[in-house]
Each structure stands twice: as C-alpha cells, then as structure tokens.
Amino acid sequence: MNKVPTPKSFRVKSFGCQMNVYDGERMAELLATQGMEAAPEGEDADLVVLNTCHIREKAAEKVYSDIGRIVKDSDGKAPLIAVAGCVAQAEGDEIMRRARDVRMVVGPQAYHRLPDMIARASAGERVTDTDMPAEAKFGALPARRKRAPSAFLTVQEGCDKFCTYCVVPYTRGAEISRPFADLLDEAKRLVDQGAREITLLGQNVNAWDGEDGRGRAIGLDGLIRELAALPDLARIRYTTSHPNDMTDALIAAHGEVDKLMPYLHLPVQAGSDPILAAMNRSHSAESYLRVIERVRAARPDIAISGDFIVGFPGESEADFAATLALVDEVRYAAAFSFKYSPRPGTPAATMEGQVPVDVMDDRLQRLQAAITRDSHAFNAASVGRTCDVLVERTGRREGQWLGKTPWLQSAHFTASEGAADHAVGDIVRVELVEAGPNSLAARALT
Ligand code: 5AD
Ligand code: SF4
C-alpha cells in the first residue's frame, strides 16, 4: 500500500460492552502519548480506530459498513483505518481480505503494540496482530489520564465458562485477574484526577481474585473493601457478574460497604432449566432466584438488572414462558434482552432446533414489554425517596444538571434559586419527585 505521513490526529470509536469503552479510552491515552491529538467531533482524523464488538451478528456487519462510510466521506484522503476489538480477534484475516482499506487489525490483547503497528502501516504495510500474549498489556500501557466523575477500571478479563452461545472465551481468551497493587494504583490515579465513582469491569468480574498488600488471598469483595478506604472515592460499582461466582462474602459486602452502590447486574439468560443446561450456564432458574433472594436480604433496596437471550436453539413456547415467569418473580429494575445470534465456532451455532426469526421477534417483544413494565414500576416506587445524585453533566435547560442515583437511574434537577450552584462531580442530596420514561425528575435539597 501507499506510504502515508505519520498520523497527527486520531479518533477511537468503541462499540459493544463497557470493557470496550475502557479499552478505547486506554488506546486514546496511548495514542496521545505518541504526540497524536484526538480529532474534534465532526472533523476528519488521520487515524481511525474502530474498536469492535463480536457478540451479535449486527455488531460485526456494522464494522464493514462503517469502513465503507469512512472511505466514502473522506474525499480521497482516506485515513489510516485500524480495526481493533473482538471482531478483529475473531475475523482478522477475513477483514484484511474483505476490506482492502483497512491497514491494521489489532486484537484486544495486543493494543499496547499500536504505536509500532502505526509506524509500519504508515510505511505502507498492512499489519495484523491478534496474538494473545501471556505478557500483560496493562503493564505496557501509559498511566491513566482520564478525568471524569465516573470512571471504568478493568480488573478482570476473559472467560473460562464457555456458555455455548458466546464468543467471549475465544475473543478475549482465558480468565485473568489484574494484580491488586496495579488496580489500587490505577484507582488512586483516577480518584486524584477527579473520579468520585469507579465501576470495576470484567467479563466475569466477580471471579476476580488476588492478594492484598499483606499477601492474603482476597476476592472481589476484598478488593471493593480496600478501594472503599480511598477517602475521595464515593461510589463503587462492578459489572458483569456470573451467578455462580456470587460468593457469601460478596453478598455480605452489599450489606456492609456503604460505598458499594445498591445495583447488581446479574445475567440469567433464560428461565427454563433445559435451556440453561443447553447453554452450559451451570446454574438453574431456582439457584439464580436463591442468589437474588440472598442479595436482597443483605441489601433490601438493591436494583437488579440482567441479560436475556430469546430463541436459543430448542427454546419452546413453554421454555419461553418460564423466562417470563422468572422475570415476574425478580421484578428487574432494568434488563437487556437479545435475539439469539449464532456465532461461528460456538457449539450452539450448529445445534438442532434453531428458532425462526419471527418467533424470536415475537418473544423479544413480549419479554421487553414485561421488563419495561417492571422498570417503570421500579422508577415509580423511587418517587418520594431522598438520595444522592452524582452529577455527570449539565442538562439542555439553563441551570439543569444530570446525574445518577445510587440505583443507576438517570436523574435531572435544577439548582434552586439562591442555593449554591453545583458542578460536575458533585454529589448532591435530592428528593426524587417524578418518574419519566427514561429519567427521574429530582429536587435538590442542598
Ligand atoms: N446471541 C445473542 N445474545 C448474546 N449474548 C451473548 N452472546 C449472544 C449471542 N450469541 C448476550 C448475553 C450476554 C450479553 C452481553 O450479550 O445476554 O449476557
Ligand atoms: Fe462485544 Fe463481548 Fe467483545 Fe465486549 S467482550 S466487545 S460484549 S464480544
């Protein structure tokens, strides 16, 4: 390919999960240390990194249409295009074949090597790096620079659970836990730069384990307790958890650590035991419900969220009815639901009994109606509560502030006449006064 000048500006576009958002931020920080600048919104960049998601079909197709759009909009001055993330890992060679404009393919475990790849790509090479080195990429990355009231911190990556529908064990590799000392350092840095809330991330975040400063074995609950000791950190969250790794100690932490927010994202995927078995989930509907019961006993006001897949191969109407029954029982504050998407190379993709798409559409609609009903009920029940809101940004209206309640609801309020004004990063005491479809109206009490 042609040689091109070394890029001066870049844009990182992240799709998919929060771990990808975190990776995108770290790639941007890495590129900034190389003397490149983030291109302002709406302006062309010399380098575009598409940080992709492979979890469902549409996500992968989107990458190809995005590449096409970038080339079409570039008036002949096409930027260097790098495809990163999980599609890069799973389909790197195919991307290089199908999309001639792509110069770099970089997997999720290799992005610390981007600077070298960019140098080679500028010199005219097409470069692929989808190694999953044992060497930790995190150690090779520059220190965090992010300034925001709410920050992500990846503590664990990869998955050893091999649910039969899921690509993650193949794209992100085996489960690894980042060392405690590194996490404490990164958390302190984030807090020094203004983070009031940290969300600990991992594909199986509650499988995190490590050793504390004194060499004692600790789990995620121990990590949370240690981070809670940072004076300026006000809120801790974690996601995503597997039901089988909800230990007694982690559940107890929900009742004991004030800074641990009352919110738990605990995917169940389905409510029918034969389907859960075919998914290789290694929990039953009943054992999942028992976990929820224990968590609620520790923290009665906790908001529960989850993930669902409808139309897994072999799912009958009776199986689906069991999912609806489980939803009725849990009363989710929020939940995400998806149509099953066969992922190449996963066991479920070749299972018998693939469900027709119109059946999936119908089930998805019914499931989403049930979830919306419960989430509206949850929000309506919050009206009248007094709570803290972490201010994340200004609203569209003059004097309006937007933020999150402890239960991860969006809330908006306007500073009252004569009261002290607020700032991003403030934690403001409010009364929740009205529940809208997407957010709650609040009244500042301070
Ligand atoms: N098809 C549909 N949804 C999926 N998920 C994971 N793999 C698939 C698939 N093949 C969903 C699960 C998971 C969430 C991140 O994405 O619900 O929890
Ligand atoms: Fe998507 Fe999973 Fe990769 Fe996240 S880890 S980007 S959800 S495929």
Q: Residue 364 belongs to a domain with what CATH number? A: 3.30.750.200
Of 365, 382, 399, the last residue of a domain is 382
Query: Does residue 415 carry a pLDDT above 90?
Result: no
| Residue 420, pLDDT score | 67
* Domain co-membership, 109 together with 152: no
Q: What is the mean pLDDT of the chain?
A: 94
| Single-letter amino acid, residue 170 | Y
165 Cβ closer than 6 Å to some ligand 1 atom: yes
pLDDT in tens, 236-280: 999 999 999 999 999 999 999 999 999 999 999 999 999 999 999
Residue 436 inside a domain? The answer is yes
Query: Does residue 141 carry a pLDDT above 90?
Result: no
| Residue 328, pLDDT score | 98
Where is average pLDDT lowest: 53-62, 123-132, 342-351? Answer: 53-62
For residues 332-357, average pLDDT: 96
Structure tokens at 245: 């790794």
Where are the extended beta strands (E) located within 101-234?
102-106, 127-129, 150-154, 156-157, 176-177, 197-201, 209-211, 217-219
Q: What is the DSSP letter of 349?
A: G
| Residue 308, pLDDT score | 98
Query: Does residue 307 carry a pLDDT above 70?
Result: yes
* Domain co-membership, 176 together with 246: yes
Query: Does residue 134 carry a pLDDT above 60?
Result: no
20 Cβ closer than 6 Å to some ligand 1 atom: no
Burial 38-58 (b: 16+ CB within 10 A, else e): ebeeeebbbbbbbbbbbbbee
Of 76, 111, 135, the last residue of a domain is 135
For residues 399-411, average pLDDT: 96
* Domain co-membership, 331 together with 349: yes
Instruction: Give 251 or 135, the one with higher predicted confidence.
Output: 251
| Residue 135, pLDDT score | 58
What is the CATH number for 121?
Answer: 3.40.50.12160
Of 363, 382, 401, the last residue of a domain is 382
Which of 55, 242, 275 has most ligand 1 atoms within 8 Å of its beta carbon, as the pocket-test mutant? Answer: 55
* Domain co-membership, 78 together with 190: no
Residue 74 inside a domain? The answer is yes
- The Cα angle at residue 220 between residues 215 and 222, in degrees rounded to 5: 50
* Domain co-membership, 244 together with 192: yes
* Domain co-membership, 13 together with 101: yes
Residue 106 inside a domain? The answer is yes
Residue 2 inside a domain? The answer is no
CA of 15 to the centre of ligand 2 (A): 8
Q: Percent of the chain scored above 70 by pLDDT?
A: 98
Domain ranges, residue 430: 386-444
Which-ligand-closest: CA of 163? 1
Q: Which residue owns the Cα nearest ligand 1 atom 9?
A: 341
Sign of CA dihedral 268, 269, 275, 276: negative
CA of 378 to the centre of ligand 1 (A): 25
Burial class (CB in 10 A: 0-12, 13-18, 19+), 347: middle
| Residue 400, pLDDT score | 92
* Domain co-membership, 229 together with 309: no
367 Cβ closer than 6 Å to some ligand 1 atom: no
The closest of 402, 209, 241 to 306, measured between CA atoms, is 241
* Domain co-membership, 17 together with 42: yes
Q: Percent of the chain scored above 90 by pLDDT?
A: 83
CA of 338 to the centre of ligand 1 (A): 7
Query: Does residue 396 carry a pLDDT above 90?
Result: no
401: left (phi over 0), alpha (psi -120 to 50) or beta: beta
Residue 4 inside a domain? The answer is no
Task: List the helix and strand counts (H, then E) for the chain.
Answer: 12, 21
* Domain co-membership, 368 together with 393: no
146: confidence class by pLDDT, cuts 50, 70, 90: confident
What is the CATH number for 249?
Answer: 3.30.750.210
* Domain co-membership, 22 together with 95: yes
Secondary structure of 44-75 in the HEC alphabet? CCCEEEEEECCCCHHHHHHHHHHHHHHHHCCC
Residue 166 inside a domain? The answer is yes
Alpha helices, DSSP H, located in 144-247: 168-171, 180-192, 220-228
pLDDT in tens, 165-212: 999 999 988 999 999 999 999 999 999 999 999 999 999 999 999 999
For residues 418-443, average pLDDT: 90
CA of 138 to the centre of ligand 2 (A): 18
Residue 189 inside a domain? The answer is yes
| Residue 142, pLDDT score | 83
Where is average pLDDT lowest: 2-11, 70-79, 111-120, 299-308? Answer: 70-79
Residue 3 inside a domain? The answer is no
62: confidence class by pLDDT, cuts 50, 70, 90: confident
* Domain co-membership, 197 together with 211: yes
* Domain co-membership, 97 together with 192: no
| Residue 300, pLDDT score | 98
pTM: 0.94
Question: Do 79 and 49 contact (CB within 8 A), yes or no?
Answer: no
pLDDT in tens, 379-392: 999 999 999 999 99
Reported as type and span, the H/E element at residue 394 is strand 386-394
Domains: count for the chain? 4
Q: How many CB atoms lie within 10 A of CB 223?
A: 27
